[in-house]
Amino acid sequence: MRGTLLMRLGRLDQALADFNKALALKPNDPEAYYNRSVLWVQAKKPRTALADLNQALHLNPRYAPALFNRAGVHEDLGDLAAAQADMERFLTLMPDSPRGKARLEQIKVLRAGKQ
């Protein structure tokens, strides 16, 4: 997708326009919402990213990359319980993911430190 390349080049405004066009053409495409959410994270707009990730998961509840990223956004927003729930759900879909397992343990440590 051209928007992803533009995003990697730091051309966020152009990437956003591409992602918006993709969503206008395919409003039920969870990957388009996921891609745009990555841009919002880069733009330091976690609540907007969360909305796109929620929509991606509404369209495809088993979309593992969206769960993984939503866990990170929840963590950034300080909602460690939601981050843990998403990472646990991610691991039901991707049980052999070393990255997911490590991330879940990090979240648990952070939660334990807040109690």
Walk along the chain (115 residues) and give the pLDDT tens digit of each residue: 688 899 889 899 999 999 999 999 999 999 999 999 999 999 999 999 999 999 999 999 999 999 999 999 999 999 999 999 999 999 999 999 999 999 999 999 999 997 6
Output the pLDDT for position 31.
95
Output the pLDDT for position 115.
67
d(CA 81, CA 62): 20
Q: Please report, for the chain, how many H helices and E strands are present, in that order.
A: 7, 0
Which CATH homologous superfamily contains domain 2-114? Answer: Tetratricopeptide repeat domain (1.25.40.10)
Output the pLDDT for position 114.
78
Global confidence as pTM: 0.93
Q: How far is CA 109 from the centre of its chain?
A: 21
